[in-house]
């Protein structure tokens, strides 16, 4: 294993850790603020139904965001290994450009998917105010909502990864093969 391979692996590992931790923090912050805004429930830490809902959404969003790491690894190999001049700062910034692009796409897609899934659940249960029931600690409603969100995430992840793979810099791949 060369120094370049170690650098790429370390960069990918660091990227994964930062993106996953940041994803969970952002998701938790947005969801808890939205929940407090809609329900006025300041004691959400004691609400088991909300914590189940939060856990399911965290899993779904992080699962979808983790779909960017394989295309990101391929992109890093194309950027760094395809270049004979060594590791330079412009290559690092090129990698960061793709990291931010993939993560922004993942956040956008996962936000849309969670909102769509929850909206689908509210359509299925027209007579129920889901957030009010979750604030009343109705675990059944929480589990049903989270199940729909998780299933939609599991089903749509491969399509999302295929979409992300379209952004891999193929022209650089072609240059390195010549």
Domain that holds residue 75: 3-171
Q: Is the pLDDT of residue 43 over 90?
A: no
Res 3: pLDDT: 66
Q: Please check whether residue 178 lies inside any domain of the structure.
A: no
Res 53: pLDDT: 96
Q: Would you say 152 and 117 are in contact if contact means Cβ atoms under 8 Å apart?
A: yes
Q: Please check whether residue 32 lies inside any domain of the structure.
A: yes
Q: Please check whether residue 177 lies inside any domain of the structure.
A: no
- Work out the mean pLDDT of the chain and round it to a whole number: 88
Domain count, the chain: 1
pTM for this prediction: 0.86
Of residues 80 and 21, more confidently modeled = 21
Q: Please check whether residue 166 lies inside any domain of the structure.
A: yes
Q: How far apart are the first and last CA of the chain?
A: 24
Q: Is the pLDDT of residue 141 over 70?
A: yes
Res 84: pLDDT: 64
Q: Please check whether residue 77 lies inside any domain of the structure.
A: yes
Q: Please check whether residue 68 lies inside any domain of the structure.
A: yes
156 exposure class (CB count in 10 Å sphere: 0-12, 13-18, 19+)? buried
Q: Which residue has the tokens 């912050």?
A: 29
Q: Which residue has the tokens 């395809």?
A: 82
> What helix, strand, coil percent values describe the chain, rounded to 5?
85, 0, 15
pLDDT band at 178 (very low <50, low <70, confident <90, very high): very low
Q: Please check whether residue 63 lies inside any domain of the structure.
A: yes
Q: Would you say 8 and 91 are in contact if contact means Cβ atoms under 8 Å apart?
A: no
Instruction: Give the tens place of pLDDT for each residue, 4-37.
Output: 677 888 889 999 999 999 999 999 999 999 999 9
Q: Is the pLDDT of residue 104 over 50?
A: yes
Could you count the other beta carbons within 10 Å of the beta carbon of residue 42?
7
Q: Please check whether residue 14 lies inside any domain of the structure.
A: yes
Of residues 172 and 115, more confidently modeled = 115
Could you count the other beta carbons within 10 Å of the beta carbon of residue 162?
11
């Amino acid at each position: 294993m060369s120094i370049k391979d170690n650098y790429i692996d370390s960069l990918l590992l660091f990227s994964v850790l930062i993106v996953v931790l940041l994803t969970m923090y952002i998701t938790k912050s947005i969801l808890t603020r939205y929940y407090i805004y809609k329900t006025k429930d300041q004691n959400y830490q004691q609400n088991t139904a909300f914590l189940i809902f939060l856990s399911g959404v965290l899993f779904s969003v992080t699962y979808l965001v983790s779909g960017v790491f394989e295309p990101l690894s391929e992109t890093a190999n194309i950027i760094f290994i395809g270049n004979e001049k060594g590791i330079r700062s412009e290559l690092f910034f090129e990698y960061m450009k793709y990291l931010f692009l993939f993560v922004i796409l993942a956040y956008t897609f996962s936000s849309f998917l969670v909102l769509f899934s929850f909206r689908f659940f509210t359509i299925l249960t027209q007579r129920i105010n889901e957030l009010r029931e979750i604030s009343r600690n109705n675990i059944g409603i929480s589990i049903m909502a989270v199940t729909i969100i998780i299933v939609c995430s599991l089903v749509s992840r491969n399509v999302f990864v295929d979409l992300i793979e379209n952004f891999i810099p193929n022209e650089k791949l072609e240059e390195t093969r010549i």
